[in-house]
């Protein structure tokens, strides 16, 4: 008869939870790597975005002040890629639930936090891979950062912070949805958050009400902050939101985490019962 030893001390429980989370991360990454069509599609999206928006639509775009449009565009594409990753998280969580994978994990003697932690770590690794590809594509089309290395790393950190917050939003929604098909239907709902922002054009050039909505978009704060840190051209606005992108690029994701981490954990615990 096999005996399962349950850690008794806090440090032992913490080590067990970290080990379980690492196992779940390896499982999720293995699934991704063994699905070449999904991996290639995810990594090809940044390249297609650069070619489509930088060359096809970019030829008709003019940045106030005469700055290079691709220099303006790339931070917007960085933020948009982080935003669209939300649907990938929702789909992965909903798929595991529909196939019964989540139920099997719940029945195993593993840490209750390992499933959620493993998903969040997996998706932040995938987001990092997307950013590396997108940075490389930007470099090939002439985009450069003009600040210090530390400022560039801070910009990347803000992008990943936004993605990390959206991961927990996606985990919660994925636990609520009944099927992965519902996740695909969310793309039209995510699209406005990626488009009604400072991704492609400055909010100052939009109609007044639409520009106000774009400036209040959390993604706009992250994109504006990365433009500032990368030293890329930006078109400043006259609102408080537009004048303080750096603190808001930290504040918005932290607010999302404060709201959705407890919601996701609560929803997961309800599913375990």
Tens-binned pLDDT, residue by residue, of the chain (273 aa): 444 555 557 777 777 778 878 888 888 878 777 766 666 766 677 678 777 877 777 666 777 666 778 888 889 999 998 998 898 899 888 888 887 777 787 777 777 678 888 899 999 998 998 899 889 888 888 888 888 899 999 999 999 999 999 999 999 999 888 777 777 777 778 888 888 888 888 888 888 888 899 999 999 999 999 999 999 888 777 788 888 899 999 999 999 999 999 999 888 887 665
Residue 204 lies in a domain: yes
Per-residue model confidence (pLDDT) at position 125: 92
Residue 38 lies in a domain: yes
Please tell me what DSSP assigns to residue 235. Answer: -
Per-residue model confidence (pLDDT) at position 173: 92
Per-residue model confidence (pLDDT) at position 201: 84
> Are 226 and 233 contacting, i.e. CB atoms less than 8 angstroms apart?
no
Per-residue model confidence (pLDDT) at position 64: 67
Based on C-alpha coordinates, what's the Rg of the chain? Answer: 20
> Are 77 and 53 contacting, i.e. CB atoms less than 8 angstroms apart?
yes
Per-residue model confidence (pLDDT) at position 273: 57
Residue 9 lies in a domain: no
* Domains of the chain: total: 1
Residue 19 lies in a domain: no
Residue 4 lies in a domain: no
Residue 147 lies in a domain: yes
Residue 106 lies in a domain: yes
Please list, in sequence order, all residues whose beta carbon lies within 8 angstroms of the beta carbon of residue 209, skipping any fewer than 6 positions away: none
Per-residue model confidence (pLDDT) at position 42: 67
User: For the segment 7-22, what is each residue's pLDDT rounded down to a tens digit?
Assistant: 557 777 777 778 878 8
Per-residue model confidence (pLDDT) at position 171: 93
Residue 261 lies in a domain: yes
Q: How far apart are CA 200 and CA 185, in angstroms?
A: 24
User: For the segment 242-268, what is each residue's pLDDT rounded down to a tens digit?
Assistant: 888 999 999 999 999 999 999 998 888
Burial of 128 (0-12, 13-18, 19+ CB in 10 A): middle
Can you give the residue range of the structural domain that contains 51?
30-272
């Amino acid at each position: 008869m096999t005996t399962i030893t349950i850690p008794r001390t806090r440090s032992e429980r913490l080590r067990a939870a970290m080990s379980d989370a690492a196992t779940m991360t390896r499982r999720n990454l293995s699934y991704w790597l063994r699905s070449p069509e999904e991996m290639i599609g995810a990594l090809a999206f940044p390249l297609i975005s650069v070619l489509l928006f930088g060359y096809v639509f970019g030829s008709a775009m003019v940045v106030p002040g005469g700055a290079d449009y691709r220099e303006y565009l790339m931070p917007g594409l960085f933020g948009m890629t982080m935003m669209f990753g939300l649907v990938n998280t929702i789909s992965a969580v909903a798929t595991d639930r529909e196939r019964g994978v989540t139920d099997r994990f719940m029945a195993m003697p593993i840490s209750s936090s390992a499933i959620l932690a493993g998903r969040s770590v997996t998706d932040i690794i995938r987001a990092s891979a997307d950013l590396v590809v997108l940075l490389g594509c930007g470099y090939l089309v002439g985009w450069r950062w003009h600040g210090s290395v530390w400022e560039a790393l801070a910009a990347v950190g803000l992008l990943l912070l936004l993605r990390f917050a959206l991961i927990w939003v996606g985990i919660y929604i994925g636990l609520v949805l009944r099927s992965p098909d519902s996740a695909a239907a969310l793309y039209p709902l995510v699209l406005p958050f990626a488009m009604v922002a400072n991704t492609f054009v400055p909010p100052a050039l939009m109609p007044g009400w639409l520009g106000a909505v774009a400036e209040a978009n959390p993604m706009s704060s992250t994109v504006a902050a990365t433009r500032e840190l990368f030293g890329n051209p930006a078109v400043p606005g006259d609102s408080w939101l537009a004048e303080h992108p750096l603190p808001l690029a930290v504040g918005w994701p932290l607010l999302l985490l404060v709201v959705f981490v407890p919601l996701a954990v609560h929803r997961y615990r309800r599913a375990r019962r």
